[in-house]
A and B are shown apart, each in its own frame.
Chain A
Amino acid sequence: MIAVLDPVQVAARPEPNPTEELQKTVSASRLNCWLQCRLKFFFRYVLQLPRPPSAAMFVGSIAHQVLQQWNHGRWRKEPFQTEKFKAWFDSQWTEEQKTSKIKWDDDQADERASAWKTLEHYFLETPIKADERPEAVEVPVEADLSHHGLPRLIGILDLVRAGGTIVDFKVTGKTPDPEQAIHQHEIQLSCYGVLYRDATSRKEAGLELHHLVRTKTPKLIVTRIGPITQQQETRLFKVMESYVDGVGRQDFVPSPSFGCAGCEYFTECRRWS
């Protein structure tokens, strides 16, 4: 099935991504988007329609940058100084805000204060010791899965702790339920396990989700799982197979659901036939 768009929209968009290319390489984000809604995938990855930046994306990005600084600092054996990270956070926020076109629902100053408070709380509560040196920080990895008849898998690991525990940082407004979090992020975590094993020829020690929760009183929820299981790997590979098939068939149909409330392509979706 081929998705059709309003001619005006079509004229304004960049060159579409050939589906053959999308079949050759996958990432956790692509797979998740595909599973969430194939029409959304079409807008985002085939037509490459620009994604209006959101306040949540902006905050998440700045928080990740600060965490990356902190991880690299431990690797360089630098002493921990909150003021240094605060100064870095402030300058990066100001700098990126100049070029962003975000419509802040609430007061931007409040968002900024709450983002920093959440990071400060993380530094206090994190299970990672100040002198624990990482094994990898924000590192891009890829795995050739052609021997499984599958596309190349790519991804970026936020942090690999000493001993091989893969950590993914999430900045969120809602307190996650650990069991649900593991289920919801299964594809991403399985991708990370496969990528780590391919890149190191070792099994990961485990995986951790560090949810930095931006509630009035910030929270840190750490969810741990063991190394990915054979069953999880099989599930991932089956999802990848289905992705390759579906993209090949150009099976880009909408999946209306509660998730549509936050979809950036709602207008385009309503025009689709």
Chain B
Amino acid sequence: MIVLETNYSKKLGLPGYSSHQFSITLKTEIADLAQVQTESNRLYQLLQQSVDASIKEVGFLPTEVPIQNRNGNGNGNGHHNGNDTWECSDKQKALILKIVEEHKLDKKEIEALAQDRFGKGVKALNKLEASQIIEILLQEHSDNNKGNGRRFGSRYQKAGAK
């Protein structure tokens, strides 16, 4: 009696830097060696079809799917290697620091604002969040922008402001 043990395994990359894999192992008996090639081909087809049918179901996926590698977007600092790195663009980082310095703002207050609005510190803000914080700071601290007029005026007066 000859025992043929076959295994087929497949690993697939998924969004959100995740992956999943599935394998099937099958043992079968064959009567003589002449059947090995034929039987092995048949089992390969069978296992592959079975694995493929199952692996299509991706199951749980992380909800926040990174669209692209941040290093690749040309704007962000792109480093995730310590507390001194900022997630927003260099331009945004420079602007936030400039506003803080020019208006002698308390960094703790800015930190508290970021925490309140986004549940994270200033350095961890992405580009959208950093832009929002800049807008709020400019509205609150620019002499020409008392109240709420900054963007409203431009929306109305400037063609294509959006």
Q: Known contacts being A61-B156, A139-B131, A139-B135, is A200 close to B161, with CB within 8 Å? A: no
A112 to chain B, nearest CB (A): 16
| Nearest Cβ on chain A to B137's Cβ, whole angstroms | 13
Q: Is the CB of B65 within 8 A of A58?
A: no
> For chain B residues 74-133, which have a beta carbon within 8 Å of chain A?
74-75, 117, 126-129, 131-132
Is B162 in contact with A29, judged by CB distance below 8 angstroms? yes
Minimum CB distance partner of B88 in chain A: A199
Question: Is A144's CB under 8 angstroms from B74's CB?
Answer: yes
A199: contacting residue among B64, B74, B131, B157, CB under 8 A: B131
* Interface contact A201-B68, CB-CB below 8 Å: yes
A91 and chain B: residue at smallest CB distance: B147
As a 0/1 sequence over residues 124 to 162 of chain B, the CB contacts with chain A under 8 angstroms (1 = contact) are 001111011001000000000000100110011101111
Interface: A210 (CB within 8 A):
no
Q: Which residues of B contact A157 (CB under 8 A)?
A: 128
Could you tell me if A200 and B135 are in contact, using CB atoms closer than 8 angstroms?
no
CB < 8 Å neighbour of A201 from B67, B74, B151, B160: B67
> B59 contacts which chain A residues (CB < 8 A)?
none
Note all chain B residues with C-beta closer than 8 A to A201: 66-68, 70, 126
- Mark interface residues in A179-207 (1 if CB within 8 Å of B CB, else 0): 00000000000000000111111110000
Tell me which residues across on chain B come within 8 A of A141, comparing CB atoms.
127-128, 131
Q: Verify if B73 is at the interface (C-beta below 8 Å from A).
A: yes
> When the two chains form their complex, are residues B66 and A156 in contact, meaning their CB atoms are under 8 A apart?
no
**Are A53 and B156 in touch, CB under 8 angstroms?**
yes
Contacting residues, chain A, for B73 (C-beta < 8 A): 143-144, 147, 198
**Residue of B whose beta carbon sits closest to that of A51:** B159
Q: A140 to B148, Cβ gap below 8 A?
A: no
Partner of B67, one of A29, A135, A137, A203: A203
Given the complex, which residues of B lie within 8 Å of A57, measured CB to CB? Answer: 156
Stretch at the interface among A7-15, A64-72, A248-256: A64-72
SS class of chain A's interface: helix, strand, loop or mixed? helix
Q: How many of chain A's residues have a CB under 8 angstroms from any CB in B? A: 42
In the complex, are the beta carbons of A199 and B151 less than 8 A apart? no
Query: What is the chain B residue whose CB lies nearest that of A144?
Result: B74
**Highest count of chain B CB atoms <10 Å: which of A144, A198, A203:** A198
Complex-state Cα separation, A179 to B65, whole angstroms: 28
CB of A69, distance to nearest CB on chain B (Å): 7
Decide: A61 and B152 in contact? CB cutoff 8 A.
yes
Residues 101-141 (chain A) with a chain B CB within 8 angstroms: 135-141
Note all chain B residues with C-beta closer than 8 A to A53.
156-157
Hey, which chain B residues are within 8 Å of A160, CB to CB? Answer: 128
- A203–B61 alpha-carbon span in the complex (Å): 13
Q: Check B13 for interface membership: any CB of A closer than 8 A.
A: no
CB distance from A64 to the nearest CB of B (A): 6
Are A199 and B148 in contact, CB atoms less than 8 angstroms apart? no
Does the CB pair A200–B159 fall under 8 Å?
A: no
A85 on the B face (CB < 8 A): no
- Which of these, B65, B131, B155, B162, contacts A203 with CB under 8 Å? B65
Say yes or no for A155: interface residue by CB 8 A criterion.
Answer: yes
Asked if A45 meets B159 with Cβ closer than 8 Å, knowing A138-B151, A201-B66, the reply is yes
Chain A to chain B contacts (Cβ below 8 Å), 26 pairs: A27-B160, A27-B162, A28-B162, A45-B159, A45-B160, A53-B157, A61-B152, A75-B117, A96-B156, A135-B128, A136-B129, A137-B132, A138-B135, A140-B131, A141-B127, A141-B128, A144-B73, A156-B155, A156-B161, A157-B128, A160-B128, A199-B127, A200-B126, A201-B70, A202-B64, A202-B65
Given A197-B68, A201-B66, 11 other A-B contacts at CB below 8 A?
Answer: A28-B162, A44-B159, A45-B160, A68-B148, A68-B151, A138-B135, A144-B74, A198-B67, A199-B127, A202-B65, A203-B67
